[in-house]
Amino acid sequence: MQNSKQKQRSRYIDSKPKQRSRSRYIEKKESVWSILRPCIITVAAVVLFTTFIARPSRVVGPSMQDTCHNGDLVILWELNYNPARGDIVVVDKDNPLHENLIKRVIGVGGDHVQVQDGTVTVNGQQLSEPYVKESKWSGSNVDLVVPEGQVFLMGDNRNNSEDSRAIGPVDSGSIMGKVVLRIFPFDAIRTF
């Protein structure tokens, strides 16, 4: 009898360290999970946000000076975006130049756009364009009605921009998003 009591007692004594180590293991597991969970949630949120709502993009080239400069980092808004006159947009490589383009929307489907002698007229109204880099600019003359589902785009640096004057209207579906914010360089942060 005494021998069985000693065995039970020794089992009881032996089981306590196992329980302690198991509880430490569970505590460590919970503390690791408490650190990983916010990181995983943050990464998932950033991926979803940049895939479906807004994404960063870098400005390449001088065609939008003085509004945007080569190397600027901008944020594009994609969610439910419909092009509107005056918006600055980025178009994907599905265009005759086969490169991403950053340009200003001058006309949308159904608009009558005329570009002649350094002036732009949309639907009979001459545009006031304080954002254009040069007061005098030249280029191809254009007189067309923008087809539905397309946009007419021009760079703000009209003398140094390959845009719809040369390549024609661009399919609205190739617009990656509207530029809503410049985040770099830091001394030039602004909204659009």
Q: Can you give the pTM of this predicted structure?
A: 0.77
Whether residue 174 contacts residue 164, with contact meaning beta carbons closer than 8 Å, is answered with no
User: Which are the catalytic amino acids?
Assistant: 63, 103
Give the Cα separation of 179 and 165 in Å (integer): 21
Q: pLDDT in tens for each of the 192 residues of the chain?
A: 555 555 555 555 555 555 556 666 566 667 777 888 888 899 888 888 877 788 999 999 999 999 999 999 999 999 889 999 999 999 998 888 889 999 999 999 999 999 998 899 999 999 999 999 998 888 889 999 999 999 999 999 999 999 999 999 999 999 999 999 999 999 999 999
Give the model's pLDDT for residue 17. 52
Long-range contacts formed by 81-85: CB under 8 A, 24+ apart: 81/175, 81/177, 81/178, 83/108, 83/151, 83/172, 83/175, 83/178, 84/108, 85/111, 85/122
Give the Cα separation of 86 and 45 in Å (integer): 31
What Cα–Cα distance (Å) separates residue 49 from each residue in 20, 76, 173, 180, 184?
43, 11, 20, 15, 19
Token output for 44 = 């998932």
Transcribe 82-116 into DSSP letters: ---TT-EEEE-S-STT-S-EEEEEEEETT-EEEEE
The per-residue pLDDT of the chain, averaged, comes to 87
Give burial (CB, 10 Å; 0-12/13-18/19+) of 182: buried
Structure confidence by residue, pLDDT tens digits, 109-151: 999 999 998 899 999 999 999 999 998 888 889 999 999 999 9
Give the model's pLDDT for residue 8. 52
Whether residue 153 contacts residue 103, with contact meaning beta carbons closer than 8 Å, is answered with yes
